[in-house]
Every structure is written in C-alpha cells, then in structure tokens.
Amino acid sequence: MADNLLSIMTFFPLVGMIALLFLPRDNDAMLKSFALAVSLITFLISLPLAFDNVFKTSGGMHYREFYEWIHVGEFFQMNYNVGIDGISLWLVMLTTFIMPIAILSTWNAVKKNTKGFMAMLLLLQTGMLGAFISLDLFLFYIFWELMLIPMYFLIGIWGGSNRIYAAVKFFIYTAVGSLLMLVGIIFVYYYAIQSGSPVNGFGVQEFYQLNIPYGAQFWLFLAFGFSFAIKVPMFPLHTWLPDAHTEAPTAGSVILAAVLLKMGTYGYVRFAMPLFPEALQTFIPFLAFLSVVGIIYGSLVAMMQEDVKKLVAYSSVAHLGFVMLGLFALNMQGMAGGMLQMINHGISTGALFLIVGFLYERRHTRQISEFGGLATKMPIFATIFLIITFSSIGLPGTNGFVGEFLALMGAFESNLRWYAVFATTGVILAAVYMLWVYQRIMFGKVTNPANENIKDLSAREIVIMAPLLLFVFWIGIYPNTFFDKMNPALEQLLEQMNNQQVAIVEVVQPVVAKVVDTK
Amino acid sequence: MENLVQEAIQNVNLHAVMPSLILTVAGMVLLLVAVFSPRGKTAHIAWLSIAALIVAGIVTIMGWNDTQYGFAGSVQLDNFAAFFSMICIIAAGLAILMSDEYLKRENFPVGEYYPLILITTAGAMWMVSGTDLITIFLGIEVLSVSLYILAGFFRDQVRCNEAGLKYFFLGAFSTGFLLYGMALLYGVSGTTKIYDIGAYIQANPDVTTNIMFIAGGLLMLTGFFFKIAAAPFHMWTPDVYQGAPTPITAFMSAGPKAAAFAALIRVTFICLEGMQDQLITVFWVLAVLTMTIGNLIALNQKDLKRMLAYSSIAHAGYAMVGLVAWNEIGSAGILFYMLVYTFMNMGAFAILVLIGRSGEANLTLDGVAGLGYKQPMLGVAFCIFLFALMGLPPTAGFTGKFYIFAGAINSGYIWLAVIGVLNSAVSLYYYLRIMIYMYFKEPEEDYSWVKIYPATAVSIVISVIGVLYLGIVPGSIMQLARMAGF
C-alpha cells in the first residue's frame, strides 16, 4: 500500500468516477453520497502523508514511483514518474481536503444531471492530484490538460446565465498557454538529449541539472511563465477568472479558487523558476511589478463590485499577487510565506465562495444591494462570515496574517523592497472591501422584505464550514505544523537554484577567458 | 528480348502485392455477387468485404519486417508500406461498417458500393508500396476512379452529383500535373524507378539546378498536394466532402489521404532528396498555409460535414509539419498521426452517420442542440473524438501531434511548432462549439429518429478504443511507426 500510496490516491477518484457511471441516473441522493464517500476515502488515503515526519528532515522527493511508460527508442521516452516533497505535500492535502467539502456544498444546489456533475468533480480531482505529484514533465502536461475538460463542462453545463462565454473563455485562455508550454517542454527535452546530459525521460529533476544557455532560457521561461501566469492568474491575463468564477456553480468556484489557481503558482515554484533561474532574474522585476499591480488593481476593482461573487473573484487576483510576490523574493521568508498563502487562499477564498453559495441558495441573487441586516436573522452565519472575512483580510490570529506577513517581509528583505511597500497597501484595501461588503450584507436594518424569513445555516452547512474554520485558526496560531515540513524542501530548492547560477557562471567564464586570450 | 521477359517473370514475386491482390480479386468477385443478389439486399456483400479486408490485413501483418520486392523493383512491400496499408484497411473496414444501414436509410442500397471500396483500398496499397513512378500513378488512378464513382454515388441527389463531378474534374486536372512532372523526371534521369532517380541525382548533383528537374519535381508534388488537400490546392475538398455520402467522406479523409501522404513521403525522401533545402521551404510554407486556412475557415462553418472537411485540411497541415522536419521522428510521426487521424476522424463521421436524418437534413450545429442529453452515449463518444481532434490528452490526438511536433522541434523548427500549436488553439473554438450545442443548449427536438445502428455502433466503439489506446499507452504502436518510418 505505502509503495503506491500516491498512485492509489490519485486514481481512486477516477475509479470512483467510472463506478459512478453505472449507478442509476435518477437516484440523486445515492449519486451524491457515493461521490462524497469516494472523496472522503481519497482524503483518508492521503492522510498518512500529512503525518509523515520524513518531510521534516529531508527536502527531497518521497513516495517515489517509477514505471516506464512510452519508450520509443531514441525518439523520446516518457515515464510514470511521481513523488512529493514538502512543497507539493500541502497542496495535495489541500486538494483531498477541499473535495469532500465541495461535494457536500452541492447537496441542494445541483438538481440537473447530478451524475454528470459528480463524475466531472471526481475526474477533476484525479487531474489535480496527478499534476501535483508528477515529476515527469510529459506526465504533468497530461494531468494539466486533463483538468481543463471537467472544469469546462462544470462551468458550461451547471453555470449561470452567461456560462457558455465563461466556459469557452476559460478553456481557450488556459489551453493557449499550455500549448506554448508544450513546445517548451519538447525543446527542453531535446536540448537535454543533444547536450549529452543525463536524462530520465522528461524527468524534471534531471532537467534541473541542465545548464541551458541564457538565450534559450529567456524564451523557455516566457513559454512556461506565460502558461502559468494565465492560470495564477496574473494581471493582465486575469480576465477569464471573474467570468469563470461568477458563472461556475459553487463547487466549481470553490475548487477553482482553492486548487486550480494554485496550479499556476505551483508551476512557477516547481518548473518555471528552478528550470530557468537565469531568465527568472531578468523577469523578476517585471513579474513582481505585475504582481503588485494585480494586488492593487484586484483590490480596487473588488471594492466596486455589485455582485458579491465577483468581489470574491477579484479578491483572488489580489491574494495571488501576494503569493507571487513572496515567491519572487527568492528567500526563505518570502517563499515560505508564498507557499503558505497558497494554502490560506485555498481555505479562506474557498470558504468565501461557500458563503456566497449559501446566500445564493437562499435568495437566488448575489447582488449586495439585495441584502442587509442579515446579522440579526442569521447569527451563526454572521459569526462564520466574520471569521472568514478576518482571515481573508489577514488579521493576526488567523491564517491570512501569517502568510501575507511572511510574503511581504521576504519581499521587503530582497531586492523587491519598494514593490513590498506598494503591495502592503493591498492589505489595507483588502480590509476596506471585505469589511465594507460585510457591513452592507450583515449590518443595519433588514430593508428588503425578502430577507425577513431567511434561514440560518443548517447542520450540513455548519459541518461544511467547521473544518475550514479549524484551519483558519490552526494556521493562524501554530503555522509551524506546516512550515516544519515545507521548509526543508524550500531550502533545497533555493540552494539548488543558487548552485545552478554558479554553475552557469563557471561554464561561461572559461569561454570568455578563452576569447580574451585569443585576442 | 526473351531474356528480358524471363527476367520480368522471375521478378514478379506475388508476395509483394498479395494484400492488394486479395482485395482486387475479392472486389471483382463481389461485383459479380452484387449483380446476382436481389435488389436491396447488400448486407452479405458488406460482410464479405469486411472478411476480405481482414484477410488482407492478416497477410499484411504477417509480412511485417519481411520486405518483399516485386515486379522488377517497381513494388516494395516494406514496413512503411505495411503500416500505411493497415491504415487504409482500417479506414475501409470502418467505412463499410457504417455504410450498410446508412445506404438503406438513404434509399440507395446498391451492392457495387462495397467492391468499389475494396478496389479503392487496393489502389491505395499500390500507391504506398510503389517504388516506380508508373506503379504509383497506377495506384492513384485506380484509387481515384473508384472514388469518383463513390463520391457521386447517390445519382439522384444533386449535391452528391456535384461532389462526384467536382472531384472528377479537379482530380483529373491534378493527375495531369502529376503525370507531366513524372514525364519530366523521366526525361532528366532516364528512369521511372524512384531509387534509380535518387541514385542518378546523387551521382550528378548538378542536376538539381536543372530547370527540367525542378519543374518535374514541383509538378509532381503539386499532384500529390491536390490529393492530400494541402492549401492552396484544397479548393475541391469542402464541396466534395460535404456532398459525398458520409461514410465515403470519412473514408476519403482517412485512407486515400494517408496513401497520398505515403507516396509523397516516399517520392520526396528518396527521389527528391537532392532538393531537400528548397523542398523544406516549400513544405514549411504549405504546412503553415494549410493548417491556418483550414482552421480559420472552419471557424465559420455551421454545417458539421463542411466543418470537418475544413478540419481535415488543417490536419493535413499538421501532418505536413512532419515533412518539414525531414527526420526520422517526423516521418514516423506522420505514420502515427495518419493512424490516429483515421480513428478520430472516422469516429466523428460515424456519429454524423447516426445523427443525420434521411437526406442528411440536420447535420448542422443547431441540429445537435442538446443531443448530449437525449443520446448520452453518442454524446460522450462524440466528445472523445472532438477532444482528440483538438489534440487534448489523454486522447490519441495529443500523442499524434506530440510525435509530429517533436520531430519538428528536434530538427530546430521551433517557430513552425509554435505556429502549429497556435493553430490547435484556434481549432479549439470550432470543436468546442459543437460541444456547446450538444451540452450547453437545451434540446429543441427529441431526437427520436436517431437509431443506433449496430454495425455503425461497432465502428464507433472501435474508434473510441483506438483513440484512447493510442492516447494512453501509445508506446508499442509508436515503436512500430518508428520501425516503419524513413
């Protein structure tokens, strides 16, 4: 079991999806329970990973599995090559953790074609987990693209009124980016072969050792970085996100925010940054600038939204700006803060989308102006919403504070000092738009008669929110549980990126010396 | 003189043409059977044709790794020919499977249809195994003449007649180019055997600047470009594909196109190797033109058959990227891609066979609105084919494109690969549009007329299996393509 833990975890939802297809199509309760059971079992399978102390001591890859997959002589070779380290560990856990919550949240929301909906969710989970555990670029690409298909249908079939536009936009944006990355992947592979360095299929760890010349790195970083930047999404490639989020059903929004966006940031940490460190140095000022613009722009636009779901979507753009800024700091604080902020964003924004979902289920509108004074009618909801709001703002004691603080501190201590200064205004803006929307929805008098009989959260809804609240405080008060296992991997990553730059300098300098000599 | 005859007889070696011989004989026997069968009864002819294809397929597979030369070096049944022969056999088999009920529905169950498909396939096999310009020409003619008839098979339908006539005129025109080019090449080198022409050019490198040689090569290639429907020689494709009976359209876009690619690869890689530098430029330009034109025009199509016709032009463009690469990966990539394309495209057309009403009335985007809910299995299968045509993993469309683009990148044509993937991105839109209508729109009709014909369903299932198998565990077949490539 332990040998194949990652594979079992990854493909269990797929097996569950296939089994689901044989269940009767009309029995909604059975379909939902079955999907929930599958996602819960997947979570249980993944649970031993979180308690494994090996991540505290070693930053390398663990739970490795390796099988030959496509071997075509000297043409190309791909392997089933998977494993996780402290970086992917928490993202994997986030995925398996958020999935049962997402499924539970659809209990009353999805009425049309439940079977297809559940099947798509489970397929999506296999795609997401596979992308996080892949150590072979070809395999990663397969899972990366596999995520597109279910998300497309989730938005397109079960989404809101403008769903077709949103679904197609989502699909084409992400696909264009990843197709360019595919060219980059193939190029890296043949570069590795032709330069004679040892390769292991498309294994990314072997590619880390390559000394790709700067000229090629530039274009490769552009190809990879563009693809991941669309997914993050970074300003100005973010325009698909508000559409997709607004139109997607609640479960789709939760997964999109909690996990899918992390694919982009994870792609930077795992692939774009360590593979092309020299080009990264060139692009960092530009990317950091875009991150800061994203933070400020996202916050300002969020402030002006009439639709609460759009507001949360734009706040995502801002939050991921913090993540990216932390990562580009390229020091321990920044990277750790960025990584933790990925998890935080998954929890708090996921929770915010659930909250929007609760409101929508009750009133079938998301216009902020339709609400007001709900605090008296829904005390439990008010409490939970407030906690999540604080977490999203980054109030000390909640998870958001730790991540944002570290990310900003890291950036401040690196070359990105002035970027960090401007980014900090985003924290204030976040407080403005979040507290303002909370005030408009919850406080004051009930002016709209439709809100008179609004019901407080049901037991199911409280059960959905409880685990999220637990982690809001856990990460906020004792984040070391997470840092302990993340840090060795991040240290190794930073060390290796520094070595690579040194290695390139060593290769280049003798050549330069030679040129000088001949003169 | 007597010696020559004797030598020729010794050189015959029927093994080299055995698969096509089986199909030719079966085709002629079945023509007679059709004459003596009662009108309207064609199922037994279809099944016998499939049996003949299976036998030919087994013979082809048994000849793997055992190259046979025949007819004084004008036929060479090597792995390359065997691979392409199998593609043609699979295409013909799938086309026949989806034909019988279709012909009944269209009220034209005529037995001659199946022997014609067999003879087309035999012609395709001569094209892929011919190593003499004359043999290749013979193959092209046998293939084309049978296809002219098949394309205009429903003689009482105007559109079908138009397809047949258009195909005939433009086909004859292109054959003229081809033949003229071959004649000029013969004039330069004094032989029609492609290996001898290649050797002659190797021995006399200055001939590559000879205007007669260049003109001959280009004219001949023009003929091939017509057959593979490369832009700007693609004008016949949309009308012919739209007007021809759907199974024939499916067949034309897979089998004969693959055969034309085979002949094109063999002739360029052996005969015209001396012109490599110039030809790569030509292929580069044509590949870009072909995929771009195909994809851009497909964006605006509402008729599904016509959309797939333009998509098939685009796919020929992707395959041509393998020609530009001009390396082993590229040429093996074309082999693999044509196989993949056979499954995904014929599968898509098989679905059109099922959802079309008599006279193919509703093969438009509106005609499939909400189909995914009323016919869930068909919907899922159609989606698999569409995702494959887009080139998304885990389908064969992705691995096929990967193979070809890997060839191009390995040869350093990175910008071509970039143009190729951007074209795929453009194509996403019109394939997605079909899915939008199938799933994101409410059904306007109950689709009660859609009957799942068993034989057609079998062809769909085979295609689905092919698309998924070649997409998830393509290693072994990719390896075969590698052994078959140049």
Distance from CA of A287 to the nearest CA of B (A): 23
Which is more confident, A269 or B485? A269
Q: Do A46 and A181 belong together in one domain?
A: yes
Which residues of chain A lie closer than 8 angstroms to B329, CB-CB? 75-76
Q: Do B59 and B134 belong together in one domain?
A: yes
Q: Do A405 and A295 belong together in one domain?
A: yes
Q: What is the ipTM of this complex?
A: 0.91
Of B271, B297, B330, the one marking the end of a domain is B271
Q: Do A322 and A356 belong together in one domain?
A: yes
Nearest beta carbon to residue B440 from set A70, A156, A180: A156
Which residues of chain B lie closer than 8 angstroms to A145, CB-CB? 392-393, 398
Assess whether pLDDT exceeds 90 at residue A131: yes
| Total domains present in chain B | 2
Of B240, B271, B302, the one marking the end of a domain is B271
- String of DSSP letters for A456-495: ---HHHHHHHHHHHHHHHHHHH-THHHHHHHHHHHHHHHH
Q: Do B123 and B145 belong together in one domain?
A: yes
Distance from CA of B299 to the nearest CA of A (A): 14
Burial letters B301-325, b for 16+ CB under 10 A, else e: beebbbbbbbbbbbbbbbbbbbbbb
Q: Do B128 and B215 belong together in one domain?
A: yes
Assess whether pLDDT exceeds 60 at residue A109: yes
Q: Enumerate residues 299 to 338 of chain A having a beta carbon within 8 A of any beta carbon in chain B.
A: none
Distance from CA of A412 to the nearest CA of B (A): 38
> Does residue B1 sit within a domain?
no
Q: How far apart are CA A243 and CA A246, in angstroms?
A: 5
Q: Do A424 and A352 belong together in one domain?
A: yes
> Does residue B145 sit within a domain?
yes
Assess whether pLDDT exceeds 60 at residue A147: yes
Q: How far is CA A56 from CA A85, A97, A491, B417, B437, in A?
A: 10, 21, 12, 43, 52
Q: Residue A112: its pLDDT value, please?
A: 81
> Does residue B5 sit within a domain?
no
**Nearest Cα to Cα of residue A103 among A354, A359, A345, A388:** A354
Which residues of chain B lie closer than 8 angstroms to A168, CB-CB? 429, 432, 436
Assess whether pLDDT exceeds 80 at residue A508: no
Return the residue of A nearest to B431 by Cα: A168
| Total domains present in chain A | 2
> Does residue B131 sit within a domain?
yes
The secondary structure of chain A in percent helix, strand, coil, rounded to multiples of 5, reads 75, 5, 20
Q: Do A419 and A499 belong together in one domain?
A: no
> Does residue A359 sit within a domain?
yes
**Structural domain that includes position A500:** 1-275+489-519
Q: Do A443 and A496 belong together in one domain?
A: no
> Does residue A101 sit within a domain?
yes
Find the length of chain B.
486
CB neighbours (10 Å) of residue A108? 12
Q: Do B181 and B46 belong together in one domain?
A: yes
Q: Residue A501: its pLDDT value, please?
A: 62
Cβ of A47 under 8 Å from any chain B Cβ? no
Cβ of A167 under 8 Å from any chain B Cβ? yes
> Does residue A483 sit within a domain?
no
Cβ–Cβ gap A186/B406 under 8 Å: yes
Q: Do B423 and B287 belong together in one domain?
A: yes
Which residues of chain A lie closer than 8 angstroms to B398, CB-CB? 142, 145
Q: Do B313 and B282 belong together in one domain?
A: yes
Cβ–Cβ gap B425/A164 under 8 Å: no
Q: Do A271 and A292 belong together in one domain?
A: no
Tell me A271's DSSP state.
I
Cβ–Cβ gap B482/A157 under 8 Å: no
Q: Residue B2: its pLDDT value, please?
A: 64
**Structural domain that includes position B109:** 11-271
Return the residue of A nearest to B473 by Cα: A70
The arithmetic mean of pLDDT across residues A134-142, rounded, is 93
Q: Do A116 and A236 belong together in one domain?
A: yes
Q: Do B292 and B245 belong together in one domain?
A: no
Q: Do B62 and B135 belong together in one domain?
A: yes
The answer, as to whether pTM is greater than 0.90, is yes
> Does residue B2 sit within a domain?
no
Of B229, B251, B271, the one marking the end of a domain is B271
Distance from CA of A368 to the nearest CA of B (A): 28
Q: Do A221 and A346 belong together in one domain?
A: no
Which residues of chain A lie closer than 8 angstroms to B474, CB-CB? 70
> Does residue B6 sit within a domain?
no
Neighbour-count burial of B361, counting CB atoms closer than 10 A to its CB (0-12 exposed, 13-18 middle, 19+ buried)? exposed
Cβ of A18 under 8 Å from any chain B Cβ? no
The arithmetic mean of pLDDT across residues A142-160, rounded, is 89
- Sign of the C-alpha dihedral computed for residues A270, A271, A277 and A282 taken in this order: negative
Nearest beta carbon to residue A179 from set B414, B424, B432: B424
Cβ–Cβ gap A156/B421 under 8 Å: no
Q: Do B443 and B422 belong together in one domain?
A: yes
- Kindly report, residue by residue over A6-22, the tens digit of the pLDDT: 999 999 999 999 999 88
Q: Do B75 and B46 belong together in one domain?
A: yes
Nearest beta carbon to residue A183 from set B410, B417, B439: B417
Assess whether pLDDT exceeds 70 at residue A513: no
The arithmetic mean of pLDDT across residues A464-486, rounded, is 90
pLDDT bracket for residue A506 (50, 70, 90): low
**Which residue numbers in chain B have pLDDT < 70?**
1-2, 4-5, 7-10, 359-362
Q: Residue A517: its pLDDT value, please?
A: 45
Q: Do B255 and B341 belong together in one domain?
A: no
> Does residue B143 sit within a domain?
yes
Q: Which of A35-39, A421-425, B4-8, B154-158 has the lowest mean pLDDT?
A: B4-8
Q: Which of A194-198, A327-331, B235-239, B341-345 has the lowest mean pLDDT?
A: A194-198
> Does residue B3 sit within a domain?
no
Q: Do B381 and B294 belong together in one domain?
A: yes
Nearest beta carbon to residue B409 from set A152, A171, A186: A186
> Does residue A345 sit within a domain?
yes
Q: Do A353 and A496 belong together in one domain?
A: no
Residues A311 and A437: beta-carbon distance below 8 Å: yes
